[in-house]
Structure 1
Amino acid sequence: MSKLIRLFAAALLAIGASAGTVLATAAPAHADACYTWSGVLAQGSSGEAVRQLQIRVAGYPGTGGVLGLDGQYGPATKSAVARFQAAYGLTADGVAGPATFAKLYALQDDDCTPVNFSYAELNDCNSTWSGGNVSAATAKANALVTMWKLQALRHALGDQQIRVTSGFRSVSCNNAVGGASTSRHLYGDAADLGAGPHSLCTLAQAARNHGFAGILGPGYPDHNDHTHVDGRPSRFWSAPNCGVASLTGGLDPLGD
């Protein structure tokens, strides 16, 4: 199904919702070559349908939060869904039904990437996603989650362009640019962002709200020309010139 048709379907669902139409029985919209939900997901739901939803709302965990992609629709997932709904003018009840899914279908391309980012954009190294510190499949899956977080960040900043200057790197690519041996770029869950419509400090400050455990920016060594975001296991934020800091002190324990 083309993007235009998906957008039209989303509009029809929105009209139905405003008119009080019961949407739970409506046929679900479909996204070719991607994931299609059926029914309604709410707190207590579990399984792959929930995990796919979590990927797409990973950018809405709340300030300083990181949403787990565990397939369990707990309080954190409910809150993330509610924030996503509020961001797009939907009823923010934390229940994922037809209107929520219609918005997600409108926001994603047929390969499940968000409309404003692509796998090619998150990989300036090779087309196979191989040679990093994780399997190619894991690196590509990590990049998908990063893109959905970036899509949330982009929307929060007025739907203006966010320029990605570096993404996944194999070990050889990372060595060539002088990256640290523990760089999150080797895991596929990192992105370097260049200045554009938004300053580097604006990007670093806003990233705190969109699921990034790692944020490095102006004032941190070798980061005055970009803002780095990633999905490391524990939080480390340092962009001293932007007033961005976490409880962790010292230099980045993982490197960039």
Structure 2
Amino acid sequence: MDLKLVEMLHLDLEPVGIFFGNTDAKSDLEASPEKRNCVIPFVLAAAKGKVTSMNEDSCTCPGGAVGACFGDGFTRLNPNIHKMLSQGLGERAPQGAPPMVREGERFFCDEEIAMRWRQNMPYSDKAYPRIVFAPLSKWAEVGTPDLVFIFANADQMSALVTMQGFYNGKAVNTLAPFGAACHSIVYAAEQIDKEEPYAIIGLFDISQRSAAIKDYLSMTIPYRLWKNMTKDLDKSCLSTHSWKNIEKRL
């Protein structure tokens, strides 16, 4: 049924299972602590068929460490992140600093407001000692994922959002929090143990959108929400004439 859902959605990238604390899976691509590693390329490599992994030492991006659930990477790796995310360091920036440091990302009006966002981040330690990303086709050899990360275009995302309410009748089943490209992982991790978990839509970070897949966003969900979506597909919106009209352009 997992594969049937992929086929009915016409996903051209495999759903990625996220495995917290996994030390056993053989990795095709393991992050090196000698490089500055962004999390999303490792997720994307998994969506294209590889098993990839990171640990705290190799998750060298401050925001990435937060997103991948290696605790408060901001404090460890970039305690001034709130300044960069707001109006920058200006004249206090080191000589030769990139524009994002000097001028700021300008996601927030000032550093106090950016600090408010930072303090409200749902930091998690779930990934220790290692996080693994695996494509759907390799879940059988890795295990049952904690989360599922899906790359989707607008048509596919509309179906994914709709399907979240299939069994509960709620209008609001998805959240779209602001954060770095990988922060949907930490927000989704917060949902795992909730009685009524939300799906998390992501890839909104415009500082990284140029490196992401054009016209795609992501949905990250606890595994049990994925299993809900794979049931009763013949009764879902993916079996309707409306979806068949959309399928013609997928």
- Band of TM-score, shorter chain: under 0.3
Which has the higher relative contact order, 1 or 2, with Cα contacts under 8 A spaced 6 or more apart? Answer: 2
Q: TM-score, normalised by structure 1?
A: 0.24
Q: Identify the structure with the greater strand proportion.
A: 2
TM-score of the pair, normalised by structure 2: 0.24
